[in-house]
Amino acid sequence: MGASNADEELRLLDDVLRSLPPAAVNDLLTLRLCPQCILRLFGKYGPIYTHYSRISTVLAEVVQHQPSSDDPLLKESANEDGICSVCFGILQFICVDEKQTLVNKGCASDFAALIYELARKDGHQADSLSLEVSIPPIIVENENAVRLSMKQKYSSEDWFQEMLQSEFISVKDALKLSITEPLETLLGVKSGSSSFRVRLTYTSSEMPMKTDNGKENNQGSKKRKIGRRSEITDTEVHLKQCSDSLQEIKSFRPLEKISACSLEVLCSSTPIYIGGRYLKYSRNVSQSRWIIDDERMGEASVEEIVGTSILPLCKGDNYKFHAAGREDIDVRMLGSGRPFLLEIQNPRMLPSELSLKEMETKINSLEGKLVKVKNLKVVDEQGWTLMREGEAEKQKQYAALVWISRQLEDKDLVTISSLKDLKLLQRTPVRVLHRRSPLEREKIIHSMSIEKMSGSTQYFLLHLCTQAGTYIKEFVHGDLGRTYPSLGSILGCRVEILQLDVTDVKMDCFLTE
Ligand SMILES: [Zn+2]
């Protein structure tokens, strides 16, 4: 901005300030409102009103020839700290930080720098910004009370009627308006609906006053969530209601000792999701962390191997592992793997394609090689939907090592491979009855085949393609008749399952990089 523009701006500011009604300005100064709050009450808000010292000077000039209030209450309680009696310092950028230190930043850009520093320390790399502000109810009450006092005294004046027409800017909106731009500049991003949130929570030890009739006068605070428009309407309604029963209302009196609000700054990011597929080569690794009576089941879990590796890459606070279905701890997961999503909570950074590729290599070369991952990539919420939708419809392929109580005959191979889309009734398996409700489900075995093993007539490999959710172990041994038909009932002998592998999960999800 050129010098002449700046001069022009200051001239404009002076004109606005000098047009304000001196008596009312004097009242507000006497009530110890900060310049920002005074201007807000007159509906003046914008970039030109950020020249705080100029405003203070000119406002003092405006009221120079006005006698100061003789109200002894106001005189005695002169506020040494100069903290505004309405916004409690919020619009003066005065607050008490988390170390209980009084912070006085004086201007919006210095205050924005403070917030920026906190976000940077927390390690966030923002690509946009969403700013949220929460203020204590007492401040809303202060605002209402001051406006009411003005109405009581000046409602017949033209400027007051004019003021009612202009948009009232709340402390919350005024703070947002003043710090958003400097914060955008510092972070190098634009604000809007963002995955990166900065939340400023102001709290005060002061509680909203009770009015004489005992009704709590905090109408504004109950409706904190409402938008600016309806807040205005509410205040108008409130003012009208108040004027109808003036006797019951206390006009605004500043507190004797005003303490700055405590400020908590919380920076957070919405979760990101890393999709991929995992393979599990161990019969002693569970899908999720599995602890019974403080004792770990199995030597590790897919969840922990994948989660603890990827979490530091995104600099997140925590992770959640979601998979499309599950296999038992003693079942290997082979073939193209099982789709999963890793949810990273409060991530500080979005991993690059390259870093995910490197992470894949790192996980796949971990000692023991219990678990492998593939096709890792950052996915949006649609990835979630895709996985959940696919899960219900998917088909799964298995290979089971099976023993039968008699010799395997060639006609068994024909019998088994001729069965297509075989319908089963499965009652909840005995082994999961303690955690699943007893139900009867119909499931389908799409196809089966027997692969003979050389040198054995009672052991063979059974390949199956089934509907999702079929209990394979139970289909093989029959589960005391709870699954029917079963391989045992079809072959007419006793059948046991020794080992099981998932050889494929037929889903399109995360199948490619
Ligand atoms: Zn103020």
Among residues 5, 309, 24, which one has the least CA distance to residue 163?
Answer: 24
Alpha helices in 19-99 (DSSP H): 22-30, 35-41, 52-62, 72-76
Indicate if the pLDDT at residue 36 is higher than 60: yes
**What burial letters (b/e) apply to 483-499, b meaning 16+ CB within 10 Å?**
beebbbebbeeebebee
Indicate if the pLDDT at residue 41 is higher than 50: yes
Across 108-124, average pLDDT: 89
- Ligand 1 centre from 32 Cα, in Å? 9
- Ligand 1 centre from 442 Cα, in Å? 69
Q: What is d(CA 487, CA 460) in angstroms, rounded to the nearest whole number?
A: 13
- Ligand 1 centre from 444 Cα, in Å? 71
Q: Count CB-CB contacts under 10 A for residue 229.
A: 9
- Ligand 1 centre from 91 Cα, in Å? 5
- State ipTM: 0.99
pLDDT tens-digit map of 152-188: 888 888 888 888 787 788 999 999 988 999 999 998 8
- Ligand 1 centre from 252 Cα, in Å? 14
User: Counting every residue, how long is the chain?
Assistant: 513
Q: What is d(CA 343, CA 324) in angstroms, rounded to the nearest whole number?
A: 14
pLDDT of 214 reads: 40
Of 212-221, 249-258, 317-326, give the range with the top mean pLDDT: 317-326
Query: Which CB contacts under 8 angstroms, 24+ apart, belong to 11-14?
Result: 12/48, 13/48, 13/49, 13/51, 13/54, 13/55, 13/58, 14/54, 14/58
Indicate if the pLDDT at residue 73 is higher than 70: no
- Ligand 1 centre from 289 Cα, in Å? 53
Among residues 504, 302, 275, 270, which one has the least CA distance to residue 387?
Answer: 275
- Ligand 1 centre from 501 Cα, in Å? 69
- Ligand 1 centre from 223 Cα, in Å? 21
Domain ranges for the chain, please list them.
81-268, 271-392, 395-506
Among 100-109, 239-248, 271-280, 492-501, the minimum mean pLDDT is found in 239-248
- Ligand 1 centre from 305 Cα, in Å? 53
Reduce the DSSP state of residue 348 to 3 states and report it. Answer: coil
Indicate if the pLDDT at residue 213 is higher than 90: no
- Ligand 1 centre from 33 Cα, in Å? 5
pLDDT of 81 reads: 66
Confidence of residue 398 (pLDDT cuts 50, 70, 90): very high
Average pLDDT, the chain: 85
What are the catalytic residues?
328
pLDDT of 223 reads: 39
Confidence of residue 78 (pLDDT cuts 50, 70, 90): very low
Across 452-472, average pLDDT: 94
- Ligand 1 centre from 306 Cα, in Å? 51
Fold of 395-506: Alpha-Beta Plaits (3.30.70)
Indicate if the pLDDT at residue 53 is higher than 80: no
Fold of 271-392: Alpha-Beta Plaits (3.30.70)
- The H or E element containing residue 336 is strand 331-345
Indicate if the pLDDT at residue 104 is higher than 60: yes
- Ligand 1 centre from 451 Cα, in Å? 82
Indicate if the pLDDT at residue 314 is higher than 90: yes
- Ligand 1 centre from 168 Cα, in Å? 14
Alpha helices in 131-271 (DSSP H): 137-154, 158-165, 171-187, 219-222, 228-244
Confidence of residue 49 (pLDDT cuts 50, 70, 90): confident
User: Is the fold of 271-392 the same as that of 395-506?
Assistant: yes
Indicate if the pLDDT at residue 403 is higher than 60: yes
